[in-house]
Amino acid sequence: MIIQLEPKISEQAKAKLLEKINETGFKTTEVRTQFRHCLVGTGSKEFDIRTLGNLPGVADIHRVSDPFKLVSRKWRVEDTLIDLGDGVTLCRGDLAMMAGPCSIESEEQVFSTINHLKANGLRIMRGGVFKPRSSPYSFRGMGLDGLKMWSALAREHGIKIISEVMHTEQIEAMYPYVDIFQVGARNAQNFNLLDALGGVDKPVMLKRGMSGTIEELLQAAEYVFSNGNEKIILCERGIRTYETASRNTFDINAIPILKDKSHLPVVADPSHGIGIRSYVAAVALAAVMAGADGVIVEVHESPEKAASDGAQTLDFEEAGRLYGRMRAAVALRDA
């Protein structure tokens, strides 16, 4: 149950409302986001919600049977639009393409990638500066200095940035330089990080955990939303299965299921989803046709020289072809 409160609800009216909810046996959590003030009630007892809806200070009330509430489409029917400013948005029908290297490596690399994005009409660049690596001896990223260098160049060229935050302590330092915080698969259930990102007024893209269910991804989003940040993007990036022919198993089913269950935008990551360069385009196109609102791909001028994930990274020519085909696919899908 979600009870939307009037902006100027008095303390007295709120106390009365809480007392009434208490009587129903529902537990409540008070939520304040950038856009609203509400009470989220959890419980299972049947009662007539009109008894609460008529109380002073209540603007609206909805019953939401899903275990996740604020991110559920049962509560909000219309799609959420993520506005990155300067005319860059993530919304239904206007495929947001994000591309860039797995890791930010150098100024030259950033510059060549920005040129590639601009030549292809893309506005969002991906790249990691804090890299979660399976081996401690692998390249761990350029860190904050790399992010500052990247951000300065990107801003100059009107390009938005998405980059992974691995730790709560990195949020504040990264804040001025990123446009979207990415939470990686390995942090999909780092609840302290999710809580902290709920206190930030910037979009957050949540990747599905390696072995996370669709419901767990939606609950991760619920953490961010209920802590105050409504600007959330969901990302299917493949899960670990028994299959060894690909790095991960991209779950195409997740795209229409997430679109149906939640009002949040859904982005597909075919690069990590299959992990093999020659198959990335096929998965990307399938994800678009399945209803993805955006696609994030790894690209590099020379994938064989990439500091990380070269085996799943497209070169500029392959990526350019894919953008064109994805645009054609969206047109076909939404025709």
The size of the interface with Mn ion (CB under 5 A), counted in residues, is 2
Q: Does 235 bind Mn ion (CB under 5 A)?
A: no
Q: Does 164 bind Mn ion (CB under 5 A)?
A: no
- Residues in contact with ligand PEP by the rule CB under 6 A: 102, 128, 132, 184-186, 207, 237, 272
Q: Which does 198 bind (CB under 5 to 8 A by kind): Mn ion, ligand PEP, none?
A: none
Q: Does 185 bind Mn ion (CB under 5 A)?
A: no
Q: Which is nearer to ligand PEP, 62 or 186 (CB)?
A: 186
Q: What is the DSSP string of 281-334?
A: HHHHHHHHHHT-SEEEEEB-SSGGG-SS-GGGPBPHHHHHHHHHHHHHHHHHHT
- Of 27-35, 94-102, 161-169, 246-254, which segment contacts Mn ion by CB under 5 A? 94-102
Q: Which is nearer to ligand PEP, 128 or 303 (CB)?
A: 128
Closest C-alpha to 150, from 181, 116, 125, 118: 125
Q: What share of residues in the chain are helix, strand, coil (percent, to 5)?
A: 40, 20, 40
Q: Which is nearer to ligand PEP, 44 or 134 (CB)?
A: 134
Q: Which is nearer to ligand PEP, 237 or 277 (CB)?
A: 237
CB 180 within 8 A of CB 162: yes
Q: Which is nearer to Mn ion, 33 or 308 (CB)?
A: 308
Q: Which is nearer to ligand PEP, 132 or 143 (CB)?
A: 132
CB 227 within 8 A of CB 258: no
Q: Does 269 bind Mn ion (CB under 5 A)?
A: no
Q: Does 233 bind Mn ion (CB under 5 A)?
A: no
Q: Does 105 bind Mn ion (CB under 5 A)?
A: no
Cα separation of 233 and 264, whole Å? Answer: 6
Q: Which is nearer to ligand PEP, 1 or 188 (CB)?
A: 188
CB 6 within 8 A of CB 57: yes
Helix locations, the chain, DSSP H: 11-24, 50-53, 107-119, 143-156, 168-174, 191-197, 214-226, 254-261, 270-274, 277-290, 316-333
Residues in a beta bridge with 183? 206
Q: Which does 90 bind (CB under 5 to 8 A by kind): ligand PEP, Mn ion, none?
A: none
Q: Nearest to ligand PEP by Cβ — which residue?
A: 184
Q: Which is nearer to Mn ion, 179 or 309 (CB)?
A: 309
Q: Which does 14 bind (CB under 5 to 8 A by kind): Mn ion, ligand PEP, none?
A: none
Q: Does 251 bind Mn ion (CB under 5 A)?
A: no
To ligand PEP, the closest distance from the beta carbon of 303 in angstroms equals 14
Cα separation of 152 and 135, whole Å? Answer: 30
Q: Does 309 bind Mn ion (CB under 5 A)?
A: yes
- Of 26-34, 52-60, 98-106, 157-165, which segment contacts Mn ion by CB under 5 A? 98-106
To Mn ion, the closest distance from the beta carbon of 186 in angstroms equals 11
CB 240 within 8 A of CB 286: no
Q: What is the Cβ-side half-sphere exposure of residue 293, based on CA atoms within 13 angstroms?
A: 21
CB atoms within 10 A of CB 55: 17
Residues in a beta bridge with 90? 82
Q: Which does 310 bind (CB under 5 to 8 A by kind): Mn ion, ligand PEP, none?
A: none
Cα separation of 292 and 287, whole Å? Answer: 6
CB 219 within 8 A of CB 67: yes
List residues binding Mn ion (CB under 5 A): 102, 309
